[in-house]
Structure 1
Amino acid sequence: MSPANEFLEMVQQLDVAYRHWTGARLPAPQLLSEDERLAWLHAHAPFALLAHGTEADPLFYYANEQALASFKYPREQFIGMPSRFSASPLDRDMRQTLLEQVTAHGIAHGYSGYRVDRQGNAFMIHEGKVWTLVDQQGVHLGQAALFWPDAERVGQLD
């Protein structure tokens, strides 16, 4: 399987689980074919999309281009990194509380807070959503997140 197809399958997995919890698809411009939509979510979305697995110390296994730009990591260093490192040590308790809410309720909406980039610089995330990833049989696959790195652009898809 080509890397591009693998990314599209991962985005589709995030989209299906998001729809499971919200009844809506991940935000994207209308009038795109399904493949174009998935490719746009991966490469051009103005919001970050990322996912971690179910390990005891969960590891990132997906990040779209905006997530990589926000955290300032190359893909090969971000994928496989423990997701707790996305928050500074001071913000990890708040992040863990959020993840526990998602585990209990399936999804959490409207989260804003600080994350930390590769250089250790804090940045604010806006209107975050975190949801449980489940497959068609309801098996828990991890958790996914969507956040906006720019408060001025929340909700804008162009």
Structure 2
Amino acid sequence: MRPADDPRFFALLTGSFQRLVGRPLLPEPNSGPGWLYESAPFAVLAHDTSADPLFVYANRAAQRAFGYTWEEFVGMPSRLSAEAPERAERQRLLDAVARDGFVSGYSGIRVARDGRRFPVSEGIVWQLVDEAGTVHGQAATFPLAA
């Protein structure tokens, strides 16, 4: 079962957001994994805890923003979402998230599959940590530019 359809991954994603950020990720309590994946008007991505973290989740909004399909996104090193000059700043952000649990108000430049650069602002990046305290990776959400 891929994470887009996995209720346990959905619980990890939304539960860790709620615990760390202090508010729900979803605007409606009855919104489920299908809504988050297919219909959410904001991007959500997640990567694992590999030494070179790999994407494990990207909702449709994130896929549109970056220009990748699910099959292209999942398994790709997450560092490739930023240009080489931006990667050091991205790593500092991820280190801060690991230290503090989450960072809000994030902004930066990301790179799409076709090489197009686009700004990300008002992003939130958080640890994917289960109720037992095990870290499974990190996730990010950001609104899409109008």
TM-score by length of 1: 0.85
The unaligned stretches of length 5 or more in structure 1 are 153-158
Partner of 1:89: 84
1:74 aligns with 2:73: no
Q: Tell me which of 43, 52, 56 is aligned to 2:51.
A: 56
CA contact (8 A) 2:3 2:56 kept: no
CA contact (8 A) 1:124 1:149 kept: no
Name the CA distance, whole Å, in 2 between partners of 1:79 and 1:13. Answer: 17
Name the CA distance, whole Å, in 2 between partners of 1:68 and 1:145. Answer: 13
Name the CA distance, whole Å, in 2 between partners of 1:136 and 1:54. Answer: 17
Aligned pairs, number = 146
In structure 2, the CA distance between the partners of 1:4 and 1:145, relative to structure 1 (3 Å rule), is closer
Counterpart of 1:5, as a letter, is D
In structure 2, the CA distance between the partners of 1:3 and 1:106, relative to structure 1 (3 Å rule), is closer
CA contact (8 A) 1:72 1:118 kept: yes
Find the residue that maps to 1:142 and give its secondary structure: strand
Partner of 1:16: 15
1:113 aligns with 2:70: no
Percent of paired sites with the same residue: 45
Name the CA distance, whole Å, in 2 between partners of 1:69 and 1:136. Answer: 31
Name the CA distance, whole Å, in 1 between partners of 2:2 and 2:111. Answer: 31
Counterpart of 1:15, as a letter, is T
1:41 aligns with 2:40: no
CA contact (8 A) 2:36 2:59 kept: yes
Find the residue that maps to 1:94 and give its secondary structure: helix
Name the CA distance, whole Å, in 2 between partners of 1:11 and 1:109. Answer: 21
CA contact (8 A) 2:107 2:121 kept: yes
Name the CA distance, whole Å, in 2 between partners of 1:53 and 1:61. Answer: 6
CA contact (8 A) 2:3 2:57 kept: no
Q: CA deviation at 1:3?
A: 7.3
Q: CA deviation at 1:23?
A: 2.0
CA contact (8 A) 2:4 2:59 kept: no
CA contact (8 A) 2:20 2:101 kept: yes
In structure 2, the CA distance between the partners of 1:69 and 1:9, relative to structure 1 (3 Å rule), is farther
Partner of 1:155: none
Q: CA deviation at 1:68?
A: 0.5
1:67-112 C-alpha deviation (Å, 9 max, x unpaired): 1111000110110000000001111111111001001100000011
Q: Which stretches of structure 1, 4 residues or longer, exceed 6 Å deviation after superposition? A: none
Counterpart of 2:108, as a letter, is G
